[in-house]
Structure 1
Amino acid sequence: MTRAAALVAASHGTSSAHGQAAVAALVDAVRSAAPGLAVEDAFVDVQQPDVASVLGRLGAGHDPVVVPLLLSAGYHVHVDLAREIGEAPGAPVLGAALGPDDRLVDVLATRLAEAGLRGDDRVVLAAAGSSDVGAVQDCRVVGRRLAARLGRPVAVGFLSAARPSVAEAVSRTRATHPVSRVVVSSYLLAPGYFHDLSVASGGDVTTGPLLRADAAPPASLVQLVLDRYGEAALSRAA
């Protein structure tokens, strides 16, 4: 029996209505871009349905690929999603996290331009943070790529678990460059609790997150999700 292809878009989940709308718009755009592919929403936390429920509903009649709509591969990818996939019926596979990827860097640069980045501004990249060393390193990789893209230094701070905190990175940057504005670049997928924390971290300006509730998702991010699906589907076939 031929099983139908399915992409399970697994986001973190949020209680923010704006964040929910922004992520839903991304998933809808992925669905529209791949009309022959079943695209299902699922959530790691906060919202429903969870990934296990979606995989159970798809059952053995589908070949699901779970694509984490997460910017780095931390605990949620290595533990939560890996466990749910291991316990699911059939043979679902887990795709890679969205980052690091130069398309994310391009959107970060766009958000900085929208925020009015000036030539003498200093930039702090605000990442969610993780207890996973690899996830933290992924965020630092994005910081280095953004610095290369902008042609200026980019400090990296974290909103939880890792150091320095965004507030510490902002304070250090301001201490060494007292006449410059400090612009916080929000390396977060969508509006919500962590973006609110980034706004409250002491920067002079904070960019919007990668996805906005009041605008269509960047086409490059839609393609990034589809590419993560394609990579994982190929690994299954190999």
Structure 2
Amino acid sequence: MRPFVLAVHGSSLPTAAATLERLCDAVERLGGIRPVLGHLDHQSPSLAEALSESAVVVPLLLGDGYHRTVDIPAVVEGHGMDCVLTPGLSGEPAIAVALRDRLREAEERAGVRADAVVLAAAGSSRPGGNDGALVAARQLRALLPGVPVRTAYCSAAKPGVPEAVARLRAAGHGRVAVATHLLAPGRFTLALAGAGADAVSAPIADHAEVGRLVLHRYEVAHVPAVSPLLPEPA
């Protein structure tokens, strides 16, 4: 089998590393291969250090901003080792399912059922960089009939998350929750705790649907001429 590398942003928070370890555990249980993490920042090994001959590289990113479209391709192409770079996770229905499930968990912890939701994405200033968040919000809206879902950003784009929460409250919504469109704990997830919402969901990297999606990306790139071992994630 070709080596499997997950290109991740990286975080100095220990909880981020633990979340990604749970993802790798899930992928290994499902597919019998354990991904190697290659970090863009904060941690080792770096993506360049994690690459090996003929590796399949799956960007563990929810958007198509600078990291996905510039940073990661530059490292992979510059390595010259016949590596294959797959698409990221942007816009996949499996992401919306994970968001819905994490949102329900947060509501249960808080003892509320939201009558409005803010989908909180990292944010990008690049053209198309926020498309994944917009698609995820539309898909999540379909999974939450009758509940408005508004998209907001932690950086680089407007509106910010506290502003979006405040707008929904001003419109008469009394129970506003944040659906965290982020993969692992970091400075953005820490900031969401102060956004003024009644419930804030956890990141989604260690959700089962994300593990299945990541493995599906690898399998399609590994054996492109045959059907993947797993069905398309929900």
Same-fold status (TM-score > 0.5) = yes
Deviation at 1:68, TM superposition (A): 0.8
2:214 — aligned with what? 225
Retained in 2: the 8 A contact 1:93–1:236? no
1:145 — aligned with what? 139
Structure 1 length normalisation: TM-score? 0.86
* Aligned sequence identity (%): 37
Matched, 1:193 2:187: yes
SS at match of 1:28: helix
Give the letter for the 1:11 counterpart.
V
Retained in 2: the 8 A contact 1:124–1:155? yes
Matched, 1:64 2:55: yes
Deviation at 1:119, TM superposition (A): 5.4
Kindly provide the CA deviation profile for residues 52-102 of structure 1, in whole angstroms up to 9, marking residues without a partner as x: 1122xx2xxx32111011112211011110100111032112111112111
Residues 1:221 and 1:16: Cα distance change in structure 2 (over 3 Å): same
Retained in 1: the 8 A contact 2:107–2:114? no
Kindly provide the CA deviation profile for residues 136-178 of structure 1, in whole angstroms up to 9, marking residues without a partner as x: 1210110011011101210010000011111111111111115
How far, CA to CA, are the matches of 1:193 and 1:227 in structure 2? 29
Deviation at 1:38, TM superposition (A): 5.9
Matched, 1:43 2:39: yes
SS at match of 2:184: coil
1:160 — aligned with what? 155
Matched, 1:93 2:84: yes
Runs of 5+ in structure 2 lacking a partner? 227-234
Aligned counterpart for 2:94 among listed residues 98, 103, 106: 103
Aligned counterpart for 2:28 among listed residues 27, 31, 36: 31
2:168 — aligned with what? 173
Deviation at 1:130, TM superposition (A): 1.0
Aligned residues: 222
SS at match of 1:13: coil
Matched, 1:81 2:78: no
Kindly provide the CA deviation profile for residues 114-143 of structure 1, in whole angstroms up to 9, marking residues without a partner as x: 122755621111111112221212101100
Matched, 1:52 2:52: no
Deviation at 1:236, TM superposition (A): 9.2
SS at match of 2:140: helix
SS at match of 2:63: coil
Q: CA RMSD in A?
A: 1.9
Structure 2 length normalisation: TM-score? 0.88
How far, CA to CA, are the matches of 2:105 and 2:34 in structure 1? 34
Give the letter for the 1:41 counterpart.
L
Give the letter for the 1:77 counterpart.
R
SS at match of 2:128: helix
Retained in 1: the 8 A contact 2:107–2:113? no
SS at match of 1:135: coil
Aligned counterpart for 2:176 among listed residues 163, 182, 192: 182
How far, CA to CA, are the matches of 1:154 and 1:50 in structure 2? 36
How far, CA to CA, are the matches of 2:104 and 2:34 in structure 1? 36
2:3 — aligned with what? 6
Matched, 1:18 2:15: yes
Deviation at 1:234, TM superposition (A): 4.7
Matched, 1:130 2:138: no
